[in-house]
């Protein structure tokens, strides 16, 4: 057992599952948005903003936002533990990733709710 881990859920299984679940959410959203754009070739601003005012769309989008955060954190964390061997550099990289993801999520919430 490898202890002392800075990964997401600290359990390998949990990270692995999260990675898969978030991947599914992300692909569903991608398919949905592409489908929506294809079905509405002459999309107006009103239509687009009504779509994003619907509660289910906001829930869906927030889920996607959190999935992006989780998915990229788990992925980048793995990459950093593979390739960045100097502890200082790795710690800096992981902190930076964490910070960027936090910013994206807060910013995304702001955009979604038009705050």
Partner 1 sequence: MLVSIYRYNPEKDDAPYMQDYQIELPAGKDLMVLDVLNLLKAKDTTISYRRSCREGVCGSDGMNMSGKNGLACITPVSEAAKNGKLVLRPLPGLPVVRDLVIDMGQFYKQYEKIRPYLINDAPAPAIERLQTPEEREKLDGLYECILCACCSTACPSFWWNPDKFIGPSGLLQAYRFLADSRDTATQDRLGELDDPFSVFRCHGIMNCVSVCPKGLNPTKAIGNIRTMLLQRAT
Binding residues (CB under 8 A) for partner 1: these are: 1-3, 5, 7, 10-17, 78, 81-83
Query: Considering beta carbons, is residue 1 or 115 the nearer one to partner 1?
Result: 1
The minimum distance between CB 110 and partner 1, in angstroms, equals 32
Query: Considering beta carbons, is residue 16 or 36 the nearer one to partner 1?
Result: 16
- Pick from 21, 23, 2: nearest CA to 11: 2
Instruction: Map tokens 């202890």 to a residue.
Output: 3
The minimum distance between CB 87 and partner 1, in angstroms, equals 14
List all residues 6 or more positions away from 7 whose beta carbon is below 8 Å from its beta carbon.
Answer: 15, 74, 77
The minimum distance between CB 97 and partner 1, in angstroms, equals 15
List all residues 6 or more positions away from 58 whose beta carbon is below 8 Å from its beta carbon.
Answer: 52, 112, 113
Crossing angle of the two packed helices 45-53 and 55-83, in degrees rounded to 10: 80
Query: Considering beta carbons, is residue 43 or 79 the nearer one to partner 1?
Result: 79
Query: Considering beta carbons, is residue 55 or 87 the nearer one to partner 1?
Result: 87
The minimum distance between CB 100 and partner 1, in angstroms, equals 21
Dihedral (CA of 101, 91, 12, 9) sign: negative
């Amino acid at each position: 057992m490898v202890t002392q881990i800075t990964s997401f859920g600290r359990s390998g299984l949990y990270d692995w599952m999260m990675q898969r679940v978030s991947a599914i959410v992300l692909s569903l959203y991608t398919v949905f948005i592409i489908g929506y754009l294809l079905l509405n070739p002459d999309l107006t601003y009103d239509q687009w903003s009504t779509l994003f005012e619907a509660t289910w769309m906001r829930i869906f989008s927030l889920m996607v936002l959190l999935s992006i955060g989780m998915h990229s954190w788990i992925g980048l964390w793995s990459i950093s533990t593979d390739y960045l061997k100097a502890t200082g550099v790795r710690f800096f990289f992981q902190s930076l990733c964490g910070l960027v993801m936090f910013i994206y999520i807060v910013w995304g919430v702001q955009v979604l709710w038009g705050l």
